[in-house]
Amino acid sequence: MSGKQATEVRMADAAGIDRAVQVLRGNGLVAIPTETVYGLAARADSDQAVARIFAAKGRPSFNPLIVHVANIEQAATLAEMNEEVRAFAAANWPGPVTLVLPKRADANLADAVTAGLDSVALRIPRHEIARQVLRKLGAPLAAPSANRSGFASPTTAAHVLATLDGRVDLVLDAGPCEEGVESTILKWCGSGTWKTLRPGPADSIAAKANKVSGEQPTRIEAPGQLASHYSPGKPVRLNAITAQADEYMIGFGDVQGDCSLSRSGNLAEAGRQLYACLHLAAASPKPRVAVAPVPATGIGVAINDRLGRAAT
**Is residue 2 over pLDDT 50?**
no
The answer to whether the beta carbons of residues 19 and 114 sit under 8 Å apart is no
Poorest-pLDDT segment among 47-56, 125-134, 217-226, 283-292: 217-226
pLDDT tens-digit series, residues 208-237: 664 555 555 556 676 666 656 688 999 999
**C-alpha angle 298/184/30, rounded to 5°?**
130
The answer to whether the beta carbons of residues 222 and 98 sit under 8 Å apart is yes
Poorest-pLDDT segment among 1-15, 64-78, 88-102, 135-149: 1-15
Average pLDDT, the chain: 92
Query: How is the chain split into domains, by residue range?
Result: 8-208, 236-310
**Which pLDDT score is estimated for 60?**
85
Average pLDDT of the segment spanning 110-124: 94
194 or 266, which is more confident: 266
Average pLDDT of the segment spanning 266-289: 96
Q: Is 1.10.3720.10 the CATH number for 8-208?
A: no
Q: Dihedral angle at the C-alpha atoms of 279, 167, 185, 228, nearest 10 degrees?
A: -60
**C-alpha angle 227/286/231, rounded to 5°?**
15
**Which pLDDT score is estimated for 62?**
84
Q: How far apart are the C-alpha atoms of 101 and 243, rounded to whole Å?
A: 44
**Which pLDDT score is estimated for 230?**
80
pTM of the model: 0.91
Helices marked H in the chain — which ranges? 14-25, 47-57, 72-76, 83-92, 128-137, 157-164, 203-208, 267-283, 300-310
Band of residue 3 on the pLDDT scale cut at 50, 70, 90:
very low
